[in-house]
Structure 1
Amino acid sequence: MGKGLASRAKYQFPDVYVYYQDCCRTRRLAAGKPCLYKRESSLDEDLADLSTPQDIPNAIKWFLLFATKRRWRDNSRIEDIEAGLAWFRDHFRAEGVKSVAFPALGCGLGGLRWEQVGPLMCRYLHDLGIDVAIYLPREREIDEQYLSEKYLLGE
Structure 2
Amino acid sequence: MIELRQGNLLDADVDALVNTVNTVGVMGKGVALQFKRKYPDNFRAYEQACKAGQVEIGKMLTFDRGEHARPRFILNFPTKKHWRQPSKLDYIDAGLVDLVNEVRRLGITSIAVPALGCSNGGLAWSDVKPRITKAFEALPDVRAVLFMPRLISDGVTLNKPREKPNLTLGRALMVQLIDFYREPGYSLGKLEAQKLAYFLQEAGQPLKLDFVKNGYGPYAEAVNHVLQRLEGHYTTGYGDRSTRSKIQVVPSVFGDVQKVLDEHPDAKERLERVKDLIEGFETPYGMELLASLHWLNAREGIVQFEDVGPALSAWSKRKPELFAKEHIAIAWQHLKDRGWLRTAVEQRLFDA
**Normalization by structure 1: what TM-score?**
0.74
Q: Structure 1 unaligned segments of length 5 or more: list them.
A: 43-57, 142-155
Equivalent position of 2:144 in the other structure: 132
Provide the rounded CA distance (Å) in 2 between the counterparts of 1:97 and 1:27.
27
Change (3 A) 1:41 1:95: closer
Change (3 A) 1:14 1:79: same
Equivalent position of 1:6 in the other structure: 32
Q: Are the equivalent residues in 2 in contact too, given 1:103–1:135 (CA < 8 A)?
A: yes
Q: Structure 2 unaligned segments of length 5 or more: list them.
A: 1-26, 154-352
Provide the rounded CA distance (Å) in 2 between the counterparts of 1:105 and 1:7.
15
Q: Which region of structure 1 is more displaced relative to structure 2, 68-77 or 126-135?
A: 126-135
Give RMSD over aligned pairs: 2.0
Equivalent position of 1:115 in the other structure: 126
Write out aligned runs for 1:32-111 (5 A): 32-40=58-66, 59-111=70-122
- Offset at residue 140 of structure 1 (A): 6.0
**Normalization by structure 2: what TM-score?**
0.34
Which structure is higher in RCO with an 8 Å CA cutoff and minimum separation 6? 1
Provide the rounded CA distance (Å) in 2 between the counterparts of 1:82 and 1:6.
20
- Offset at residue 95 of structure 1 (A): 2.2
- Offset at residue 90 of structure 1 (A): 2.2
Structure 2 counterpart of 1:134, one-letter code: L
Q: Are the equivalent residues in 2 in contact too, given 1:104–1:117 (CA < 8 A)?
A: yes
Q: Percent identity?
A: 33
Provide the rounded CA distance (Å) in 2 between the counterparts of 1:39 and 1:131.
20
Q: Are the equivalent residues in 1 in contact too, given 2:60–2:102 (CA < 8 A)?
A: no
Q: Are the equivalent residues in 1 in contact too, given 2:115–2:146 (CA < 8 A)?
A: yes
Change (3 A) 1:124 1:140: farther
Q: What is the number of equivalent residue pairs in this alignment? A: 126
Show CA shifts across 1:91-132 (max 9, x none): 321123221111010011000001100001111012402110
1:15 pairs with one of 21, 36, 41 = 41
Change (3 A) 1:73 1:14: same
Which has the larger share of helix?
2
Structure 2 counterpart of 1:10, one-letter code: K
Show CA shifts across 1:71-98 (max 9, x none): 1111000000110000111232112322
Provide the rounded CA distance (Å) in 2 between the counterparts of 1:131 and 1:96.
12
Q: Are the equivalent residues in 2 in contact too, given 1:32–1:84 (CA < 8 A)?
A: yes
- 1:26 aligns to 2:37 (yes or no): no
- Offset at residue 41 of structure 1 (A): 6.9
